Amino acid sequence: YCLEGNFDEARKCHHKLFPLCKSMFIETNPIPVKTAMKLLGRINGEMRLPLCEMAKEHEKQLMGALKNYGLMS
């Protein structure tokens, strides 16, 4: 949208996606991304050191965001 000069539509898109983007940085990158992929069944969820599993509270928040955007049921 921005390349076309449609900044109002770009702003709407940004505001629509911002909660999902924010949830992807709730912990140190790439832990949320790997956790999301695990929740979606794309990977087995094993983390190599120095990474660790996401805190359960944060995982619930991430799962909620994925559900809100229709990415998982």
pLDDT score for 55: 97
pLDDT score for 44: 94
SS3 for the chain, per residue? CHHHCCHHHHHHHHHHHHHHHHHCCCCCCCHHHHHHHHHCCCCCCCCCCCCCCCCHHHHHHHHHHHHHCCCCC
pLDDT score for 3: 94
pLDDT digits (tens, 9 = 90+) for 18-28: 999 999 999 99
Instruction: Name the one residue in this structure whose structure tokens are 């990474």.
Output: 51
Q: Nearest CA to 23 among 15, 31, 32?
A: 32
**37 pLDDT above the threshold of 90:** yes
Q: What is the pTM of this model?
A: 0.83
Q: Nearest CA to 47 among 58, 57, 38?
A: 38
Average pLDDT over residues 30-51: 95
